[in-house]
Structure 1
Amino acid sequence: MLLVAIGNNRAARPQSGVEFADVVYEVLAEGGITRLLALFGSRAAPDIGPVRSLRMAMAEIALGYDAPLAHAGGCEEALRFMARQAPKSLDGVRGAGAFFRRVTHRKAPDNLYTSTGQLIEGARARGLRLSPLVRLPHGDRAGGDPATRVVVAFARLVNAPNIVTYEYDGRVYRRSVNDSPHLSAQGQQLAPENLVVLEVKTRTVMRQEPMLDMDVVGQGRALLFRDGRVHAGTWQKTGPGAMFVLRDTQGQLFTFARGQTWFHLVPDLKYVEYR
């Protein structure tokens, strides 16, 4: 397994490699902008990027996987956390630059790229163990209510909206951002098989600058979208080194359709609309 922090601001799109990820976490950074934390394990990605800086919530999510984590620096809190927890960090701007590259078709800071091959080389050079992919539980799932259109409104700012829409086509959820298809660098529309929304307590805190503080350790409400239907439930993460556990309202573990899964962390489920 490998984890990569990827930019998702307008200048960072279209990204490379996201379509090859097994799991993607979309996490609010600041100003309504989100970052992506992509987990790679079953498929190689020849290009991944732009690699961007780490946020605290992303670091806490990553620690649960015990996998090398590629990033380009990070906020002070996240970097201190990384140093204390001693996870498998590959920082492209602090010591691991040999396993990244700068591309010429993008301006900094959205021009740092890597690949699964480079990161595997970097992990081995640093003596970091590469663990097998942790797969979500797969299986059929009955019940739920119809939901073929899903809208996640991370920000409704007039000058800088960030509204993600998914349309279910009978097989996958085709992703758009602000009414435009979200394409990969190869021109392929991003289209996961599963969507998860986690309601996470979020507050703005003042450090050197205003930052979002998200309680990803804890529990809260969750929604699973698969096969054109929505299922309500809860999530729990018992510590920074634990993974998210998702259960339905009957206490049974969520099961997922085979394919890619996107997690969306929002302050409140009112950020989500579906029909």
Structure 2
Amino acid sequence: MDKNKLVIILSAFALYFLSAGFSYFIFSKGLAGGLTDSPIPAPTLSNGQVTFDESLPKTQECPLNGVKYSKQQENWWQKHRPLGVMIENHEESRPQSGLSGADVIYEAVAEGGITRFLAVYYCQEGGILGPVRSARTYFLDFISEYGNYPLYAHVGGANQSGPADAISQISDYGWSSYNDLNQFSISAPTFLRDEDRIGHPVATEHTMYSSAGKLWGFAQKQRELTNVDKKNNSWDEDFVSYKFSEDISASERPASQSVHLEFWNNKNYYVDWTYDPKTNLYKRNNGGSTHTDLNNKKQLTAKNVVVLLMRESNANDGYENNIHLLYQTKGTGKAIVFKDGERVDATWKKTNRTARTILTDAKGNEIKFNRGLIWFEIMATDSTITVK
């Protein structure tokens, strides 16, 4: 090969590698005006729980409570549907696991003045969840607000024939063995008993746990439910999101506010919310003690505390001691919204089971919630509520 041909070949190779390297630099680093986006890293799995890169920009709004998360986290939550979990609040069940990781929480008396929680998960994983307890009819009305076939996890439920028969209603709604995740029909390891988790002896009914990851995984593998159902319908086609606003500035916040709620005449279940102007959060005490989450040992807090005053009555279904309750969840009634250290007297309205519970102020304007956990307190219309 003569010298001139060799120079031409070497020059061609050099030009090829130079152009390839330049193209890679242009398109991978975004020098060409951002023609391509850098790939979004997948979340990591640690001890069975999904974790996200907290250094990523938080630009994506959670549709349930307005909190801004990263695109990485949004990509993750868009692969499943909202999950409601029945978590009990019996004294022996405290501290519960996973309440601090919920996007929205509903609290109402289950029986005998003992409250129970419907914790709704979508944008956060939540970790270990429990103790999981039984279904109640009025909680079905609230989880029904979260789009088409929301996942609903519980351990059995009220099944006495009559208006409080939650198990029959689940069947009537077409949820049985589909989006309904009843522990009675789901074997381990999706649900597991842990007699030692709380750290003190408890009755068996206070020992059932699961996790959002296990429940979403079961729904995907066994029920073909992800963000879409078997017919490829997205869960959020008819979902109505609340409206959200930013926190008021620190200089505008009041120095203090306390909210005292009395569920029946049972001091062990009285709730106190204390406003913290530094964080613009309400800190929760239950039964006179700090209410914490066993997962992280931190006190439970909420950005918005919403008291829904609803007519409470006994089901009169013949069940022992007539303990099954009903709440008038549909229609309209009075409400009180606590946010930014202020009280807003409001009106709630819910037209049917699947309709959103909408809150409006005295002028008829829909109330905007602060971005963060929304904690609904469902109380009888004659309940004692003290605000200072």
Q: What TM-score, normalized by structure 2, do the two folds share?
A: 0.66
Report how many residues are paired: 273
Q: SS state of the match for residue 185, structure 2?
A: coil
- Tell me how far apart the structure 2 counterparts of residues 141 and 176 of structure 1 sit (CA, whole Å): 23
What is the aligned partner in structure 1 of residue 258 from structure 2? 149
- Tell me how far apart the structure 2 counterparts of residues 134 and 23 of structure 1 sit (CA, whole Å): 14
Moved over 6 A (4+): 141-147
What is the aligned partner in structure 1 of residue 313 from structure 2? 203
Higher helix share: 2
Q: CA distance change for structure 1 residues 214 and 147 in 2, over 3 Å: closer, same or farther?
A: farther
Q: CA distance change for structure 1 residues 55 and 72 in 2, over 3 Å: closer, same or farther?
A: same
Q: SS state of the match for residue 92, structure 2?
A: helix
Q: CA distance change for structure 1 residues 144 and 27 in 2, over 3 Å: closer, same or farther?
A: farther
Task: Please tell me the residue identity of whatever aligns with 1:272.
Answer: I
What is the aligned partner in structure 1 of residue 355 from structure 2? 242
Checking the alignment, whether the CA contact within 8 Å between 1:147 and 1:230 is kept in structure 2 is: no
- Tell me how far apart the structure 2 counterparts of residues 260 and 15 of structure 1 sit (CA, whole Å): 17
What is the aligned partner in structure 1 of residue 168 from structure 2? 80
What is the aligned partner in structure 2 of residue 59 from structure 1? 140
Q: How far off is 1:155 after superposition?
A: 2.4
Residue by residue over 1:148-193, the C-alpha shift from the partner in whole angstroms, topping out at 9 and shown as x without a partner, is 1001100223xx6421001001121110012110111132100111
Q: How far off is 1:213 after superposition?
A: 1.1
Give ranges in structure 2 of 5+ residues lacking alignment.
1-81, 160-164, 197-201, 228-234
What is the aligned partner in structure 2 of residue 225 from structure 1? 338
Checking the alignment, whether the CA contact within 8 Å between 1:144 and 1:230 is kept in structure 2 is: no
What is the aligned partner in structure 1 of residue 101 from structure 2? 20
- Tell me how far apart the structure 1 counterparts of residues 301 and 244 of structure 2 sit (CA, whole Å): 18
**Residue 176 of structure 1 pairs with residue 285 of structure 2:** yes
Q: How far off is 1:233 after superposition?
A: 0.9
Q: CA distance change for structure 1 residues 9 and 148 in 2, over 3 Å: closer, same or farther?
A: same
Instruction: Give the alignment's Cα RMSD to 1 decimal.
Output: 2.2
**Residue 126 of structure 1 pairs with residue 223 of structure 2:** yes
Residue by residue over 1:70-117, the C-alpha shift from the partner in whole angstroms, topping out at 9 and shown as x without a partner, is 111100100111000123200012346552111131541111111111
Q: SS state of the match for residue 29, structure 1?
A: strand
Q: SS state of the match for residue 273, structure 2?
A: strand
Q: How far off is 1:140 after superposition?
A: 4.8
Checking the alignment, whether the CA contact within 8 Å between 1:90 and 1:96 is kept in structure 2 is: no
Checking the alignment, whether the CA contact within 8 Å between 1:21 and 1:43 is kept in structure 2 is: yes
Q: SS state of the match for residue 86, structure 1?
A: coil
What is the aligned partner in structure 1 of residue 44 from structure 2? none
Checking the alignment, whether the CA contact within 8 Å between 1:147 and 1:274 is kept in structure 2 is: no
Q: How far off is 1:147 after superposition?
A: 6.9
Checking the alignment, whether the CA contact within 8 Å between 1:28 and 1:154 is kept in structure 2 is: yes
Higher strand share: 1
Give ranges in structure 1 of 5+ residues lacking alignment.
none
Correspondent of 1:262 among 375, 378, 381? 375
Checking the alignment, whether the CA contact within 8 Å between 1:198 and 1:265 is kept in structure 2 is: yes
What is the aligned partner in structure 2 of residue 71 from structure 1? 154
- Tell me how far apart the structure 1 counterparts of residues 261 and 122 of structure 2 sit (CA, whole Å): 27
What is the aligned partner in structure 2 of residue 136 from structure 1? 242
Higher relative contact order (CA 8 A, sep 6+): 1
Task: Please tell me the residue identity of whatever aligns with 1:213.
Answer: L
- The 5 A counterparts of 1:180-199 are 180-185=289-294, 186-199=296-309
- Tell me how far apart the structure 2 counterparts of residues 24 and 18 of structure 1 sit (CA, whole Å): 8
Q: How far off is 1:121 after superposition?
A: 0.8
Residue by residue over 1:179-230, the C-alpha shift from the partner in whole angstroms, topping out at 9 and shown as x without a partner, is 1101111321001111000011111132223111111111100111001001
Checking the alignment, whether the CA contact within 8 Å between 2:240 and 2:356 is kept in structure 1 is: no
**Residue 164 of structure 1 pairs with residue 277 of structure 2:** no
Q: Give aligned-pair identity as a percent.
A: 30
Q: SS state of the match for residue 346, structure 2?
A: strand
Moved more, 258-267 or 201-210: 201-210
Q: How far off is 1:269 after superposition?
A: 5.7
**Residue 114 of structure 1 pairs with residue 210 of structure 2:** yes
- Tell me how far apart the structure 2 counterparts of residues 252 and 228 of structure 1 sit (CA, whole Å): 20
- Tell me how far apart the structure 2 counterparts of residues 65 and 269 of structure 1 sit (CA, whole Å): 29
Q: CA distance change for structure 1 residues 169 and 112 in 2, over 3 Å: closer, same or farther?
A: same
Q: Which one has the largest radius of gyration?
A: 2
What is the aligned partner in structure 2 of residue 49 from structure 1? 130
Q: SS state of the match for residue 90, structure 1?
A: strand
